[in-house]
Structure 1
């Protein structure tokens, strides 16, 4: 009878658990897999699993640096089928990057065909390209046949692959690495192998070396695309000491004279991981939008090398000023972030300093040396055993021949024979006596070697060679024993290997010399427009509908100009290309325009609303040239206002800067420069009030204070003037009238005022 307590139809493969635990366990498994097997490099060989498997598969295919090429599709297929069960496209992309000399400081793959370029073009399909290893990759793999590292089963258990590569040099820093895992990331710039070898040697000789001392050997990154590092030395030291920081990297450029005072800037090296085509597109866009007004054109004249031309708008432009603007507004200067997050011993992720990374490498090299030495000793012991058997055979050659010739089981007979007794050569099979069972002096290995020996090896000369080889191997074995017993000898041997690596891949190696240089950045100061734009006279014309243009030269302001049907003049004044213009809208916002960016005067111009974000419902109240340190009187239709410094109203963006707060039906109405010590206001009721300018507050933003009191209507106009000179206006006949006796209209701010004097304009405007 079934147990009634068991749930009915229970499936043992279905396990119930809380969703929170299930999600947590599975996500943790995924995170660990991403961190350890995909995103973070091993500190010992500086490789991620996919790169390590690519190199190992190429080794198995015997694609040596001096051998032939194989199709990339064959290589990526072998990697995918044997070691890396992921997409072939991802494997090929990883392999192609190892062949790109603009991405990898010391390429590990020698590519034949289109493997992409610095413009950002993708490599050709894997069926079209071919590849083999480079000498640098072979240095990473040297020692795999000598048990230098551990091997593990591949994903299906049919093959084995190395856990880590022996790596003759600190590849983690030499070629750098980048990756994004779950909750952590890494970004390591490339460095120079020769400098890294020197730093490792110093670290071995002085284990307690300070982090900053290593900068004497490794001053900073060495990018494959060159460039100029302008990061202060103390920041570089902090980055290498903590494992986190960044480096400011600029392009390398020079001025090329063209004759007759003309010149151009030639960029020969661009920052690391900046795509040249996109860089030029962004610079061209900046020229079109006039963000860099002193730059006229950009051209790409690159062939095998980088040659990018920057053409100034005028020969009077200063080259340093132009490049300062380029550094600020384009990717000709970038910041490369350092985050040395790596796997220590292939297991533990940790943000390490340069010293810790180099220590992990030299400790790995010591382990590799010990394992290779033990492996070599085992090979020597095996060979010495074989040589000892050969020598015994040569000393008893006649007896060995008799046994091989006459005995039914020569192998067993050779192992039974007592080679210490004298033997008599048998003349025929009757005289041959089989060895009696006993304790033989030859091992199975020795007997197999003797039986496999060729007849030509029976010469007397060969016996001398065997004795010489035995002596040499005994001497080598003694040296290996001494090496394994002495830490100092091991470190000396590693130092020798590092010096050989430095010699092989140093300045005499193709591309081995340092490419990235160091320089002082200097301060990029805000340069006035006068220094960037050629100063030329223009006439600003803005119509009633808001169409604006800049006509060349200072024209007669009274001459007739063409406008669109139904439109007419509103603002017209003389200016210069170096001027900045201020636009005041009825919404209380100020907008800033550069006179050099205005459209030319051949057509009708362009709508001002396309240049700034002035709403359609907002009217243009004022348009004038910005004069620093001047003050402005701003007021609303409700009669509120204040004085604002003109420097405080300059806007940095298209959206402008809110200065006068208005709401509802109230609109900004007045914006005039403060030109005296008195303020005059007039309302829609034609009452005039005059009071001292000192009664108005100076503010940067706000609603302001009441200027004049009204029962009905609001403010019509306001202005400032000098009390001693009197208040002026145009009478109906167009004549200027000045009134100096103003006592009748003077009063306190926010008073009602009195009716305007006879002859005051009917439109209630002072000007």
Structure 2
């Protein structure tokens, strides 16, 4: 015998079929792959169910375990499903039932369970012999009209029974509950959505079949997970709805509470979808032990039947925001959900955008309504035929009764009715079976009325079948009923965010000093590095600048603030404070062109911090030529990297100052020759972003505006000149005037004290930070500056060299670490 030959090949060579193993393997594997794809792993686009889910629901329906019926043991359901429709392991079937019960797995659970069905901690459900189930009311909507020949049935695994290939599905289950599964060479991961939003989008498509993704997203904001959470960013949602694929980040909901003893506590009340809480806590403990996250003193799980509550206690002095963002970065408290809208369309796997998924459901509902209407029409026609015969019999009652009485047998009577009165076989049988009670006058009227109602029903059903508009109207009406019965509030919140954890998440929200030079070098420095000195001191070198450059602006803000950068040409640019490099006190900084794309010869006019872009705040602009303009702050919330136009300027004008106001403030504008005017913001009408402005102050020919400020509740107006002189004047000395006037004097300008450099509002407890052209920075207590009237020259504040000038002023809060010396100043080394 040759090696490698089988006995059959030798004895019965005619029974051996030789095939190419490569082709055979390919064919067999494709058959296996399609069996897994169609028969197990992927949901049908019409009812959103995989075969095992569909078989469980149908078996429960057949068993009569409806939402208003008593519970039945889960083992009974599992046995029916396995024995009749799904000949696989009982564990797989029971796991399917358990998932359809869990309100943290499905947005709208389809099975109502009684007993232990697991938890978000990953606890297993109790054995099937201990738990009981019945259908949820919403599951009835998946099965409604299944007995009206609305869907196709096929043979079960042994061809002894019939099972539905799809359910009628009055609810868009694929989208509201989502689906996940791994097939051969492909996977699906469809997130759950809010029923109300999906219904609204379906109605929009019914009314406008050409609705765009943007139109649909006015209703469908994004996924709505059963465990809630916060969805960060909208681009991934848009990608998924347009292409069928996208990535979204989901964060836990956490609240920070400050304790009386200086210790902060983080409370976690919601987790991202499918995150195991117990494993999350283990991960946090592991990170603390490895010292990758420091500052956590205690970790407790206080969750109960009323909701989730994870308590993270922090050590004294720790930044809760920083630790929380570390938790987002290193634990599943922030998770990525990869959306793949893969479903079966006519038994073929397809990746579907949102509009296609909705349209396939609407087409399915159209087919169901047409099939249901035809079924009802057939029954109505049969009933009308019977009623027509009964009506005819009543009209010939005496003759019919005589014929029946004279007949020897029922068959003879039936044949006589058919022959003598031209009744059909069904009509004759119905007449013979009619009770004598139906011959009373009242019953006769009811019969005639029923006949008329059936005729009207037939006409209506035929009208539905012949009218696309009627079918759309029925779909819309049914969807409205579904929305009213089952819709609830959205759970997941969607917020704007970047695609990944930014460095901001790991930077403490601390006070910093932003310094900007005339040539555009910018840096960020902690505010406590500058020491507080006496009035008249020499100051301290704030940064080492190159020849020909000088400090142009300085202000105090938070690391997490937005910096709005306005140019002299009226352009505005956006930057985060933490994006400015942090450098030592004497460092020059980094060129701002690395962060902001300026035009050629464009110079920075003013920079200030903004925390949030709101509708209840305004930007007030002041120009060199004395114009002012007011625009709502939210108009500048979508600033691009290349900047946008903030104000229209005349060719010979420049933007001097931009201020954030509350809409009802008083504004003070000061000129280089010491004139000032104060008027209410109500005098300036709010206009759009790209507008020119109105007259704020009437200037002399050689004068121009050097600064503007909001008049607050501060006690004094501080006026600073470029030669280092200044004074405080009581706010009450400045009278309110009408916009556009000449104004009043704020300081006498002479060769001794120089021209006006800045006018700001101060209180006694404020600190004043002054900047010189040479780079010196001096910090003074406001209450150390002399209080004198408007018509004065002021006193010396800074001892400047002959070629130096003051060019900037900023107000800061007093530090808690100050120590007062014998001259009344405070000193921080």
- TM-score surpassing 0.5? yes
Query: Aligned-pair distance for 1:236?
Result: 1.7
- What do you get for the CA RMSD once the two structures are aligned? 2.3
Going from structure 1 to structure 2, the CA distance change for 1:20 and 1:355 (only over 3 Å counts) comes to same
* Aligned residue in 2 for 1:593: none
- Measured at CA, do residues 365 and 412 of structure 1 come closer, stay the same or move farther in structure 2, by a change above 3 Å? farther
* Secondary structure of the corresponding residue to residue 122 of structure 1: coil
Counterpart of 2:188 in 1: which secondary structure?
Answer: strand
Distance 1:499 1:278 in 2: 41
Correspondence for 2:265: 264
Residue 11 of structure 2 aligns to a residue whose secondary structure is: coil
- Aligned equivalents of 1:440, 1:154: Cα separation in 2: 48
Summarize the Cα distance change of 1:440–1:342 in structure 2 as closer, same or farther, 3 Å threshold: same
Which residue does 2:388 correspond to in 1?
388
Q: Pick from 154, 175, 178: which aligns with 1:176?
A: 178
For 1:285, the equivalent position in structure 2 comes to 286
Aligned partner of 1:457 among 425, 431, 438: 438
Which residue does the alignment assign to 2:165?
Answer: 163
1:504 aligns with 2:481: no
Residue by residue over 1:11-46, the C-alpha shift from the partner in whole angstroms, topping out at 9 and shown as x without a partner, is: 766432122222222111100100011011100000
Q: Secondary structure at the match of 1:387?
A: helix
Provide the rounded CA distance (Å) in 2 between the counterparts of 1:155 and 1:249: 41
User: Where in structure 2 are there 5+ consecutive unaligned residues?
Assistant: 1-7, 511-582, 585-829
Distance 1:450 1:123 in 2: 59
Question: Is 1:411–1:448's contact at 8 Å kept on the other side of the alignment?
Answer: no
Give the superposition deviation at 1:267: 0.7
Deviation at 1:383, TM superposition (A): 0.6
Cα 1:528–1:184 change in 2 (3 A) is closer
Partner Cα distance (2:267, 2:328) in 1: 14
Q: Is the 8 A contact 1:403 1:410 kept in 2?
A: no
Whether the 8 Å contact between 2:322 and 2:506 is mirrored in structure 1 is: no
The equivalent residue for 2:104 is: 102
| TM alignment of 1:148-159, pairs within 5 A | 148-159=150-161
Give 2:83's aligned residue: 81
The aligned counterpart of 1:348 is 348
Going from structure 1 to structure 2, the CA distance change for 1:69 and 1:353 (only over 3 Å counts) comes to same
The two structures have a TM-score, normalised by structure 2, of 0.59
Change (3 A) 1:34 1:403: same
The alignment's TM-score, normalised by the length of structure 1, stands at 0.63
CA contact 1:99–1:109 (8 Å) conserved in 2? yes
Cα distance, 1:400 vs structure 2: 3.5
Partner residue, 2:300: 299
Say which SS state the counterpart of residue 417 (structure 1) adopts. Answer: helix
SS in 2 for 1:278: helix
* Match among 434, 448, 469 for residue 429 of structure 2: 448
2:329 & 2:314 partners in 1: Cα distance?
16
Query: How much has 1:408 moved relative to structure 2?
Result: 2.6
Q: 1:412 deviation in Å? A: 4.3
Residue 493, structure 1, aligned to residue 495, structure 2: no
* 2:496 alignment counterpart: 520
Judge which range, 258-267 or 520-529, deviates more: 520-529
Matches within 5 A, 1:320-335: 320-335=321-336
Secondary structure of the residue aligned to 2:222 is coil
1:22 is aligned to 2:24: yes
Quick one: which of 219, 222, 228 aligns to 1:220?
222
Trace 1:54-203 onto structure 2 (pairs within 5 A).
54-203=56-205
Native 8 Å contact 2:414 2:432 kept in 1: no
Shift of residue 468, structure 1, vs aligned partner? 0.9
2:460 is equivalent to residue 479 of structure 1: yes
Offset from partner CA, 1:319-352 (integer Å, 9 cap, x none): 222211110011111001101111113x111111
Given the superposition, is the C-alpha separation of residues 529 and 354 from structure 1 closer, same or farther in structure 2, using an over 3 Å criterion? Answer: closer
Distance 2:243 2:312 in 1: 39
Task: Give me the whole-angstrom Cα distance separating, in 1, the residues matched to 2:354 and 2:48.
Answer: 13
Aligned-pair CA distance for 1:415:
3.9
Q: Conserved in 2, the CA contact under 8 Å of 1:416 and 1:441?
A: no
Does the Cα contact within 8 Å between 1:317 and 1:531 map onto a contact in 2? Answer: no
More displaced 10-residue stretch of structure 1: 129-138 or 395-404 = 395-404
Q: Secondary structure at the match of 2:113?
A: strand
Cα deviation, residue 136, structure 1: 1.0
- Note the C-alpha offset of 1:115: 0.8
What secondary structure does 2:338 align onto?
strand
Deviation of 1:214 (Å): 1.1
Does the Cα contact within 8 Å between 1:229 and 1:247 map onto a contact in 2? yes
Task: Tell me the alpha carbon deviations over residues 481-523 of structure 1, each in whole angstroms, 9 at most, x when there is no partner.
Answer: 11111111111111111111111111xxxxx221101123367
Aligned residue number for residue 467 of structure 1:
448
CA separation of 1:111/1:446 partners in 2, compared to 1, >3 Å: closer, same or farther?
same
Of 444-453 and 68-77, deviating more is 444-453
- Is the CA contact 2:414–2:429 (under 8 Å) kept in the aligned structure 1? no
CA deviation string 1:115-153 (max 9, x = no partner) = 111110111111111100001110111110111111111
Q: 1:387 to 1:11 in 2, by over 3 A?
A: farther
Aligned to 2:50: 48
Say whether residues 1:206 and 2:187 are aligned partners: no
| Structure 2: distance between partners of 1:489 and 1:62 | 33
SS in 1 for 2:86: coil
Q: Secondary structure at the match of 1:259?
A: coil
Gaps of 5+ in 1: 1-5, 419-437, 507-511, 534-627, 630-767
Residue 360 of structure 1 deviates from its aligned partner by 0.4
Pick closer, same or farther for the CA change 1:201–1:413 going to 2, 3 Å: same
Greater C-alpha radius of gyration = 1
The answer as to whether partners of 1:342 and 1:352 remain within 8 angstroms in 2 is yes
How far off its partner does 1:390 sit?
A: 1.8
Q: Secondary structure at the match of 2:112?
A: strand
Q: Distance in 1 between matches of 2:386 and 2:320?
A: 77
Is 450-459 or 144-153 further displaced after alignment?
Answer: 450-459
Relative to structure 1, the CA distance from residue 529 to residue 417 in structure 2 (aligned partners, 3 Å threshold; closer, same or farther) is closer
SS of the equivalent of 1:343 reads: strand
Q: 1:174 to 1:528 in 2, by over 3 A?
A: closer
Whole-angstrom distance in 2 between the partners of 1:517 and 1:478: 49
Number of residue pairs aligned between Structure 1 and Structure 2: 504
User: In the TM superposition, what whole-angstrom CA distance separates every residue of 1:629-688 from its partner, at most 9, and x where no partner exists?
Assistant: 9xxxxxxxxxxxxxxxxxxxxxxxxxxxxxxxxxxxxxxxxxxxxxxxxxxxxxxxxxxx
Quick check: 1:243–1:340 contact (8 Å CA) kept in 2? yes
Aligned-residue offset at 1:308: 0.4
Structure 1 13/188 Cα, relative in aligned 2: closer, same or farther at 3 Å? Answer: farther
Gap change, CA 1:192 and 1:440, over 3 Å in 2:
same
SS of the counterpart of 1:182?
coil
Are residues 396 and 312 of structure 1, via their aligned partners in 2, closer, same or farther at CA, if it must alter by over 3 Å? same
C-alpha distance in structure 1 between counterparts of 2:235 and 2:55, whole Å: 39
1:558 equivalent in structure 2: none
How many Å apart are 1:353 and its aligned residue? 0.4
